[in-house]
A and B are shown apart, each in its own frame.
Chain A
Amino acid sequence: MRFAVRRTIFYLITAWAAVTINFLIPRLMPGDPVTALMGRMQGRIDSNAEESIRVLFGLDTSSSIWQQYVDYWGLLLRGDLGLSFTFFPTPVAEIVQQALPWTIGLVGIATIIAFVLGTSIGVAIGWRRGTWADALLPITTFFSAVPYFWLGLIAITVFSVTLGWFPSSGSYDRGMVPAWSWEFVGSVIYYGFLPALTVVLSSIAGWILGMRNMVVTVSSEDYVTVAHAKGLPERTVMVGYAARNAILPQVSNFALSLGFVVGGTLIMEMVFSYQGIGYTLFQAVNTQDYPLMQGCFLVITLAVLGANIIADFVYAALDPRARQEG
């Protein structure tokens, strides 16, 4: 129970910090890019919307910084993230809401596949140390160093430009109307396959290497020797003793590197023009759509936070010591 309380407090602090960072960034920036944009939008923004943008970006210089902070929280809690400049006058919240499921679907599924697959391969390589399996390490190292987006470029060149097997951009056939039909779902899978494959290929290497090293380290623990001494079947020793313990740091690393992995995979959406949060952020940056940028960052952070909470529960379920000590 103490464990849960401690973690909850930590996540509340993190969420608060993310919001506060979001609040501070535009206020700390030199210059005032938003005012210029507001000038261009003159007359097209109604006074209500203008007010919320002023609060979000600190243009409301008349009130104190504390007042601004309170107003800011007030807007966020009402779900008001301002209006997008690019897709004027669509509210940022609405754009983000549309993009988020695509990202969770693509990045989420691909990351989980990469983690599960990479961890299993890592166990196999770490367990068969000193055999042919070690030959896989240099290749893995190379893949772990390849930038995600570049692998995306290569994948597009090979599979869509040269071979023509998969589309190079988009998330479903534009001729279709989104619906829960087999046809549409099939199209989504077809369009998502190449980006997902690239995400898996580029992030799997890190999981393989991490798990391999953990299995090598755990294999020389006394309890693994005891398991051998008991005459347990090799599979039991490998899975139940070596891998079962090696996965604990792997899961906590998963939680900690999620931010990094998600950042990298978001770039993948930009390469494939996949209509998720990453691509939206990319468009926002290119068009200097500040409200949209801020909104995307906030949502990405909260999503990563959510994933972290899940990883935490998984860890607690796996490690009896964590449940007790917190």
Chain B
Amino acid sequence: MAQDTSLVESETVVEPAVEHRTRDPRRPKRFLFLRNGKALTGIGILLFFGVLAVVGPWIAPYDPNQVSVDLLQPPSWTHWLGTDHTGRDILSQIVVGTRGVLVVGLIAGVSATVLGVVVGVTAGFVGGAGDETLSALSNVFLVIPQLPLIIIIAGQLPTAGGVTVALVIGATGWAWGARVMRAQTLSLRKRDFVEAARANGERTWRLVLAEVLPNLTAIIAAGFVGTVTFAVMSQVTLAFIGITPVSDWNWGTILFWAQNNLALQRGAWWWFVPAGLCIALLGMALTLVNFGIDEFVNPRLRSTGMNARVLRRRRIRPRIGFTPVLRTPPGAGPRAAAAGPTRKERS
């Protein structure tokens, strides 16, 4: 295990800390996060949509608002994803709508994360009555159902464009992040290095910026990704129920038009299936990135070395409480055989 030599040479030679039985004895690898297959898949999908959001309006085959005589056509070579009831090209609507979805997701994600970090870290750091007040505030915002709140706020705004909706989502969706951030700050505050910096007379704001925030990076990132997911879902939902202007193209708007023009009853699956799949794919990509962060933060969730194929080949079933035993029966050569009797029983 990697150990600081200077510590070993000092007075207490044998590290008195408890032995970590479960830890991977190898050195921690840098950029472990990027070595994670789930996270990489997620980032790949995100990049795809990101590029689409930037170049979408240029590569879309048609103007998404352009009506034509091809009313409600199923997918064909001229319209890859068919057309809607006024002959507009659905693929173009999806491609052009990507930008709206991502922009709102990003703005809402950034604003909610900033709010969450400020409230959470402050609460965790000041303690006392300030902490009580801020935690109560974030708990209140957690309990109040956000989507209905967003709906009534957006519903009462005279104009609820993309940015407005993003800001409303940001203003209501910060509480979860604040809660997590507060818990983490509280535990960080008690760690030795922060105490040491404090004893050295570091100023509070410097302490927060230099010692606390860098250690919260993973949590902040997870909170950000989670908020973006929530923002995308909320915005699409708002567009679907027709609260945001129906002329702003995003994937929810497409579903709004589909639902209101009886696409379901007419069996026009090409109208609502692709847009929904895009939402699901984007949501899944964000979830995968969050899994990657989770496994990075919580090593117990990591499945290092649990390559399913290797396990099958060596016939190992990793279990807690019953360590697998490799058996090499006489004459079987180096190839490992079954874990013997351990596999017989299963309750």
Contacts and interface: CB of A to CB of B under 8 A. Distances in A.
**Do these two chains interact?**
yes
Interface in A224-243: 224-225, 227-229, 233-235, 237
Interface in B134-151: 136, 139-140, 142-149, 151
Contact of A33 (B156, B272, B284, B298): B156
Given A13-B140, A147-B280, A153-B276, 13 more contacts: A18-B144, A25-B156, A147-B237, A147-B283, A168-B265, A213-B294, A235-B347, A256-B142, A259-B143, A259-B146, A288-B155, A297-B148, A301-B145
Interface of B: 22, 136, 139-140, 142-149, 151-153, 155-158, 176, 229-230, 233, 236-237, 240-243, 255, 258-259, 264-265, 267, 269, 272-273, 275-276, 279-284, 286-288, 291, 294, 298, 300-301, 303, 306, 308, 311, 317-322, 347
B144 A21 contact: yes
B347 A14 contact: no
B141 to A, nearest CB: 8
Contacts, number: 187
B151 A145 contact: no
A296 B144 contact: no
B148 A296 contact: yes
B148 A14 contact: no
A142 B281 CA distance: 7
Contacts of B155: 284-285, 288, 293
Interface size class for chain A? 35 or more
A267 B153 contact: no
29 contacts: A10-B139, A14-B143, A21-B149, A25-B152, A130-B303, A134-B308, A144-B283, A145-B282, A146-B283, A149-B237, A149-B255, A150-B255, A157-B264, A168-B264, A225-B321, A235-B347, A256-B142, A259-B144, A260-B146, A260-B147, A262-B145, A263-B147, A284-B155, A286-B242, A294-B152, A301-B144, A301-B145, A301-B148, A304-B145
A130 B318 contact: yes
A305 B276 contact: no
Contact of B276 (A131, A154, A270, A296): A154
Interface of A is mostly: helix
A39 interface: no
A147 B236 contact: yes
Interface stretch (A72-80, A171-179, A215-223, A314-322): A215-223
B288 A141 contact: yes
Q: Which one of B142, B143, B176 has the highest number of Cβ atoms from chain A below 10 Å of its Cβ?
A: B143
A133 to B, nearest CB: 11
A207 interface: no
A205 B277 CA distance: 17
Contacts of B279: 145-147, 150
A157 B267 contact: yes
Nearest to B271: A153
Given A217-B300, A225-B321, A228-B321, A145 B280 contact: yes
A70 interface: no
A291 to B, nearest CB: 11
Nearest to B275: A150
Given A30-B158, A260-B146, A130 B311 contact: yes
Contact of B322 (A224, A228, A263): A228
Nearest to A267: B237
A220 B255 CA distance: 45
A304 B143 CA distance: 7
B152 A297 contact: yes
A263 B148 contact: yes
Given A130-B311, A142-B280, A301-B144, A220 B156 contact: no
A170 interface: no
A260 B284 contact: no
Nearest first, the 4 closest Cβ-Cβ pairs linking A and B are A263-B147, A145-B283, A228-B321, A150-B276
Contacts of A297: 148-149, 151-152
Nearest to B234: A263
A96 interface: no
Contacts of B142: 256, 259
Contacts of B258: 153
Contacts of B283: 144-147
B276 A13 contact: no
A194 interface: no
B347 A234 contact: yes
Interface string A143-161: 0111101100110110001
Nearest to B295: A213
A233 B346 CA distance: 11
A285 B243 contact: yes
B287 A145 contact: yes
Q: Which one of B176, B230, B264, B286 has the highest number of Cβ atoms from chain A below 10 Å of its Cβ?
A: B264
B276 A267 contact: no
Given A146-B280, A150-B272, A153-B259, A293 B152 contact: yes
Contacts of B275: 150
Given A33-B156, A297-B149, A216 B311 contact: no
B22 A131 contact: no
Contacts of B265: 161, 168
B311 A293 contact: no
A264 B147 contact: yes
